[in-house]
Amino acid sequence: MKTPHGLVAIFGCGHAGYVNILKAVCKELPDDRLLSVVGGLHLESASDKIMAEAITYTDSVKADGFTFYGGHCTGDKTIRYFRERYGGQVVLPMRAGRIIEY
């Protein structure tokens, strides 16, 4: 989803791979920065190497004001990993009924 402040990547369940999906989005819209990631990232059992690659790629494409809302299959480990990098105000669990406005 394109907003005036950047792209919002909405994942149903990221079986194709978090970085792979973001690379495809950024290839199609190379002039836009990533404002937010929302949804299931399917990283619940990802290795530290995969997590580090996810953070490195996110850093390379994120916009100012970046937010991260991890859904059901993101996993607590992933939420903690992303919070260590971006902080608890940026990385929030996605819960039923959450309203996000851009």
Highest mean pLDDT among 36-45, 50-59, 74-83, 89-98: 50-59
pLDDT digits (tens, 9 = 90+) for 1-49: 999 999 999 988 888 889 999 999 999 999 999 999 998 888 888 899 9
| pTM (2 d.p.) | 0.89
As a whole number of angstroms, the distance between CA 41 and CA 43 comes to 5
In this prediction, residue 44 carries a pLDDT of: 84
As a whole number of angstroms, the distance between CA 84 and CA 102 comes to 24
